[in-house]
Amino acid sequence: MSIVTRPTTGPSLLGGSIVLPVNECRHDLPPRRVSPWTGTAGTAGTVAVVGAGKMGLPLAAQFAGHGWDVIAVDVQESVVAAINDGRSHIGEEPGVAELVASAHAAGRLRATTDGTVAARDADVVVLIVPVMLDAAHRPDYRYMDSAVASIGPGVHAGSLVIFETTLPVGDTRGRFAPQLEAASGLRAEEDFLVAFSPERLFSGAALRNLATYPKLVGGLSARSTERAGRFYDAVLDAEIVAMTSAEAAEFSKLADTTYRDVNIALANEFAAYADRVGVDIREVIAAANSQPYSHIHQPGLGVGGHCIPVYPHFLLSRAPELTLVARSREVNDGQIEIAVEAVREALGGLAGAQVLVLGLTYREGVKELAYSRAIPLIEALRTAGARVLAHDPLLSDDEIRSVGAEPYSWGSRADVRAIVTQTGDRRWRELDASWFPDIALLVDGRNSLSALALPAGVAYRGIGVPARRAIDSG
């Protein structure tokens, strides 16, 4: 693949498909092993991947699959042990387990808890550990600060350090490069190089994403940008986009995720208006998006996951004047109260009422509770006096109890008065209202059940979907 200064694939997505074709690998494999690695085409060195979790392990497997020696670094000894046995500890990423096994068997993948030794042995260090939010919605650096401290003493002359974790604008240069300098006793951009390259991976499709989405790279200088670009050009099959600075690359990831949050907030406000005027928001959005410059997203109960509800706050932590961004967070988080109010109104109150929540993970098919809207939904229902039951095919009974709900056994009879779907799992289409003789309301939080047959007297409440049409379609 080539390295370019502007992406060549983006405009084709306007109003259309979000699925990009997978690029074929055009690398000559195996590459020639060199030490130290200095960026020469057709050569490979050693890379340390710090953070071997749901996104880090696919990266490590990808790099090893392109002929690099990979040292996975993680603080969890169980993760390190699994990798050193040739096993993947993550279960929902197609192809990763096979790549881990083959790379380990070939002697190209090993793991350790010692970041200093890994950095000392590596030509390139890639950090992908969480930066989340604290209770005040400010960036929580505890894991990244610890990771940087662990590798810092091992950074050596010629090292290239790349941050893939999404960061507030300016952190690569202003926060973490100085930490690396202090720990190593070396000077960034003189003795070692530093760059930022945001991960752009979607749970359940990480390897596919690595072969499709353009890889954005921005360094603290032109030299670090070039070296990082050459590294990714050696290990990825996607287009590499060399940006003008680390700050531009940091901002690009925040702009991407914040755009989606704002777009979903707009869709949620459109849905509220559709309810008021009695039209189906799905019809409206499909019609609007037939114009190629419109790409309105879908409304729902809000936004969960590690990315979209988090990264707008990274922007706001540095730019509080972005009022549209702040308002969008309020709109999307406010969807929960709208759903709770719909249940309260339909039942004439929530005290003592049994409510069933379907779908606790932030997205169907992904076993991850990070910022799932089910958690505040359950809290709000319980605070209002409801008894909350819940079901998620990905979670055990103990995991369901851990978020404050009682496990519901799928298909069993229960004295449930209302059901709220928080994900769009296909299993919900098998729902049979006869399981719930006293049910009065179904809140369809992802607009996936409008065709479900409901008996007379059971109200349907979608997100911008007319109740009468939904019941008639059943």
**What does 240-262 look like in DSSP terms, one character per residue?**
EEE-S-HHHHHHHHHHHHHHHHH
pLDDT at 13 over 90: no
Domain 335-473 has CATH 3.40.190.290: no
Within 8 A by CB and 6+ apart from 281, the residues are: 267, 270, 271, 274, 299, 447, 463, 464, 465
Instruction: Report pLDDT for 292.
Output: 82
Rounded to 5 degrees, φ, ψ at 160 are -115, 120
Class of domain 3-244: alpha beta
- Closest by Cα among 348, 340, 433, 448 to 388: 340
pLDDT at 166 over 70: yes
- The model carries a pTM of 0.92
Instruction: Report pLDDT for 160.
Output: 98
State how far the Cα of 100 lies from the Cα of 206, in Å rounded to an integer.
14
pLDDT digits (tens, 9 = 90+) for 457-468: 899 999 999 874
Instruction: Report pLDDT for 8.
Output: 67
Fold match flag (3-244 vs 335-473): yes
Report the run of H or E that residue 209 belongs to, with start and end.
helix 206-210
Split at pLDDT 50, 70, 90, the class of 18 is low
Cross-strand pairs, 48: 71, 125
281-290, 315-324, 411-420: the lowest-pLDDT one = 281-290
**Which residues in 339-355 are b (16+ Cβ under 10 Å) and which e?**
bbebbbebbeebeebbb
**Other CB atoms within 10 A of residue 263 CB:** 16
Q: 59 or 473, which is more confident?
A: 59
State how far the Cα of 285 lies from the Cα of 454, in Å rounded to an integer.
26
Instruction: Report pLDDT for 9.
Output: 52
To 5 degrees, how large is the angle CA 216–CA 221–CA 223? 85
Instruction: Report pLDDT for 348.
Output: 96
pLDDT at 172 over 80: yes
Split at pLDDT 50, 70, 90, the class of 1 is low
Q: 170 or 202, which is more confident?
A: 170
List the strands of the sheet with 406-407, edge to edge: 406-407, 387-391, 354-358, 418-421, 441-444, 459-461
Q: What is the dihedral of CA 132, 420, 325, 304, to 10 degrees?
A: 20
Instruction: Report pLDDT for 462.
Output: 96
DSSP state of 20: P
Are residues 216 and 182 in contact, defined by beta-carbon separation less than 8 angstroms? Answer: no
State what percent of residues in the chain have pLDDT above 70.
95
DSSP state of 23: P
pLDDT digits (tens, 9 = 90+) for 355-367: 999 999 999 998 9
Within 8 A by CB and 6+ apart from 394, the residues are: 361, 365, 366, 367
DSSP 360-395: -SSBTTB---TT-THHHHHHHHHHTT-EEEEE-TTS
State how far the Cα of 295 lies from the Cα of 17, in Å rounded to an integer.
10
Q: What is the mean pLDDT of residues 90-95?
A: 88
- Average pLDDT of the chain to the nearest whole number: 94
pLDDT at 14 over 60: no
Cross-strand pairs, 33: 44
Q: Catalytic amino acids? A: 253, 307
The radius of gyration of the chain's CA atoms, rounded to the nearest angstrom, is: 24
Q: What is the mean pLDDT of residues 371-389?
A: 97
Query: What is 261-332's CATH topology?
Result: N-(1-d-carboxylethyl)-l-norvaline Dehydrogenase; domain 2 (1.10.1040)
Q: What is the mean pLDDT of residues 102-114?
A: 98
- Closest by Cα among 431, 339, 449, 422 to 386: 339
Q: What is the mean pLDDT of residues 244-267?
A: 97
Q: What is the mean pLDDT of residues 105-126?
A: 98
**Extents of the domains making up the chain:** 3-244, 261-332, 335-473
- Quickly count helices (H) and strands (E) in the chain: 17, 19
